[in-house]
Amino acid sequence: MALFVVRHQHPAERCPARDPQMGQMLLAHLAEPNARQYGINIHGEAVIEGQHTLYLIAEAEDQSKLESFLQPFAQAGTVEVWPAVECAAVVARGGCEAVRI
């Protein structure tokens, strides 16, 4: 599985947490049992206070699978997905430059 960092942003007027039903639906979508059904393993998530910005660290088979899983968030705003590696891998290879295959 590959590691990814995700950023979701939405405008204040479209904040899904303001709608109790939508907020609960998104929480249920991110819950471990549901994510695993999609082949996604979420390592962590956090919302930046007052910024309407959610960050996730997640593993998935590939980027397209993760992007598909994140479609409910795309309905409220933008979703950006970046391939990532753990810090130890960067140190082991001697730098932050992406490995070309």
pLDDT digits (tens, 9 = 90+) for 47-68: 999 999 999 999 999 999 999 9
Contact between 60 and 39 under an 8 Å Cβ cutoff? The reply is yes
Rounded Cα gap, residues 80 and 89, in angstroms = 22
Domain boundaries, the chain: 2-93
Residue 37 CA to chain centroid, in angstroms?
A: 16
Q: Which CATH number fits domain 2-93: 3.30.70.1060, 3.40.640.10, 3.30.110.30, 2.40.50.100?
A: 3.30.70.1060
Q: What is the pLDDT of residue 101?
A: 59
Residue 99: its pLDDT value, please? Answer: 72
Q: In whole numbers, what is the pLDDT of the chain averaged over residues?
A: 95
Tell me, rounded to whole angstroms, the distance of Cα 61 from its chain centroid: 14
> At CA 76, angle to CA 24 and CA 5, rounded to 5?
85
The band of 32, judged by pLDDT with boundaries at 50, 70 and 90, is very high
